Amino acid sequence: MSGRIAVLASGVGSNAEALADACEDGRIDGSLCIVGSNRPDAEVLARAAARGLPTLALDHRSYPDRAAFDAALHDAIAAFEPDLVVLAGFMRILTPAFITPWRGRLVNIHPSLLPLYPGLDTHARALAAGDRWAGATVHYVIEALDAGPAILQAKVPIEAGDSPGTLAARVRVEEHRIYPLAVQACLSGRVRLAGERAELDGAVLPPSGAREAALAR
């Protein structure tokens, strides 16, 4: 059965585009049923519309507080009946008003090797710490920020002379590769959130080195 994916994004939308590509070429057995943003002028909405995808803008500044915005966002997204809600550069901290009803069907991609560097400015922080590796993590979203169980990670080397921008570009290539893989694994039901942990085929996920191959099977 082909899955319905809601994507939420606030910026450029290169990850949304990578997911749309993967739906079109069959790496994901599904389609984007809605691309939503909290920023009516976000490039992601223009890109999605240009591909003929349905879009939704819900400006968070029109709501009195986070909980009111999140409740409205929930209702708007639920109307499209997604199987999975995918955050792809959605720059809003979500509250339980949104997270709780979508728990286990809500994933995010974060540009660091979580649990390292939750929050913002991840690449600058990795560079300042003198790290040798950076990367991205696809994880389930739970109430604590950037703290849900990891589904898949990709590592990239930090090179001499890297700036946050050059590092972000190298990491983004990997994001575009692993996000479709993880989304397909969730949609197919092979990956699930069981209580506080992510499982693959009903068992604990393999260690990160073996995980990508296991998910791709």
The residue (of 88 and 185) whose beta carbon lies closer to ligand GRF is 88
- Whole-number minimum distance, CB 9 to ligand GRF, in Å? 5
176 tagged catalytic: no
Beta-bridge partners for 200: 191, 203
Min dist. Cβ of residue 108 to ligand GRF (A):
7
Name residue 184's amino acid. Answer: Q
* C-beta of 3 vs 111, nearer to ligand GRF: 111
Which is nearest to 126 in space by CA: 115, 114, 137, 112?
Answer: 112
- Closest separation in Å from C-beta 206 to ligand GRF: 23
- From the candidates 74, 110, 139, 176, give the one annotated as an active-site residue: 110
Cβ closer to ligand GRF: 48 or 187? 48
At position 37, the amino acid (one-letter code) is S
Q: Which residues bind ligand GRF (CB under 6 A)?
A: 9, 11-15, 88-89, 109-111, 136, 172, 175
Residue with smaller CB distance to ligand GRF, 64 or 143: 143
Token output for 23: 């739906």
**CA–CA distances in Å: residue 50 to residues 14, 147, 149:** 14, 34, 34
**Closest approach of Cβ 107 to ligand GRF, in Å?**
11
DSSP code for 84: E
DSSP state at residue 60: G
The edge-to-edge listing of strands for the beta sheet with 191-194 is 191-194, 197-200, 203-204
Residues classed as catalytic:
110
